[in-house]
Amino acid sequence: MSGNLIDGKQVAARLRNDVAVAVKSLAVTPTLAVVLVGDDPASHVYVRNKIKFTRETGMNSVEQRLPADTSEDAVVETVRALNADPDVDGILVQLPLPDHINSNRVIAEIDPDKDVDGLTEVSAGRLLLGKSGLRPCTPTGCVILAKETLGDLTGKHCVVIGRSILVGKPTALLFLEQNCTVTIAHSRTENLSIVCRGADILIPAVGRPNMVKADWIKAGACVIDVGINRIEDASRKSGTRLVGDVDFAEAEPVAGAITPVPGGVGPMTIACLLRNTVLAACARRGLAVPDGLAI
């Protein structure tokens, strides 16, 4: 394994351990509720992993599995019931939802104080205004990996490629909170490769396989690849393999530190979800944030 590889699995395991220690220190056991609608195979695998790690850290897991033909109103009522349950600290609605359900309406129903995915408009507003609240998991994972690699991020130039509301925009805001100078780039950015080459921290999050080449990266930069793309690979039994938005083989010799795909940002997303559940439990009960969970 290369010495400049950022091992997301290792960092995530350490964060999960910090969560488990924090849970033991609390007078209550936090509870995460997951709402899963339909039979999407990837969603089922993802939810299964979330439930597994939730229980491994000593927290309670509540599952609401609903058939694919469940009405939008019924899903909304499920969320409202979880909002009203005093024992539930975090609510996660697994996306994507079936096509007949308006995801925006369902997400809007989640109590912001239980919004452990950080997806509601209130959560986004709190982030934009610099107010305390629950932050999106994948962007938070990016910050943790960057700090793990570089330490204090003050003054670093962070370039985020992508302006989505799920990753790009919140990632930029979270790095601003760390006193970085932040540039948000996207498909219409002029001289995109030159903009990226000015980054101390480069975060591609666009969903285009192997887009970022070696000459887009400043020598010694920290590269955190959020992209997860499945491409054809005849050498694999499955016929496909996962790659990021960065051409890893090209970029690794140039970067000072780089995340692999898979095994980089992905494991951090679930670990940060567990962290958010503890933070939500503490905030709802007026408890101090346990040691080890502050960023």
For helices 41-56 and 8-25, give the axis angle rounded to 10 degrees: 50
Q: How many CB atoms lie within 10 A of CB 262?
A: 15
Q: Is 132 annotated as a binding residue?
A: no
Q: With DSSP H G I counted as helix, E B as strand and the rest as coil, what are the percentages for the chain, rounded to 5?
A: 40, 15, 40
Q: Answer yes or no: 117 catalytic.
A: yes
The CB-based long-range contact list for 111-116 (8 Å cut-off, 24+ gap) reads 111/83, 113/280, 113/283, 113/284, 114/82, 114/83, 114/88, 114/89, 114/90, 114/280, 114/284, 115/90, 115/91, 116/32, 116/90, 116/91, 116/92, 116/273, 116/276, 116/277, 116/280
Catalytic residue among 18, 94, 113, 114: 94
The Cα–Cα gap between 50 and 274 comes to 8
Asked if residue 230 belongs to a known ligand binding site, the reply is no
228 is in an annotated binding site: yes
- Rounded distance between C-alpha atoms, residue 82 and residue 91, angstroms: 7
- Whether 99 is a known active-site residue: answer no
Please tell me the distance from the alpha carbon of residue 191 to that of residue 180, in angstroms, as a whole number.
22
**CB atoms closer than 10 angstroms to residue 55:** 12
| Catalytic residue of the set 50, 156, 169, 218 | 50
Q: What residues pair up with 243 in beta bridges, in sequence order? A: 229
The catalytic residue among 18, 113, 117, 247 is 117
162 annotated as a binding-site residue = yes
Containing H/E element for 196?
helix 192-197
* Cβ-Cβ contacts under 8 Å for 283 (sequence gap 6 or more): 113, 132
Catalytic residues: 50, 94, 117
Annotated binding residues for NADP(+), written as ranges, equal 162-164, 228
Binding site: what residues are annotated? 162-164, 228
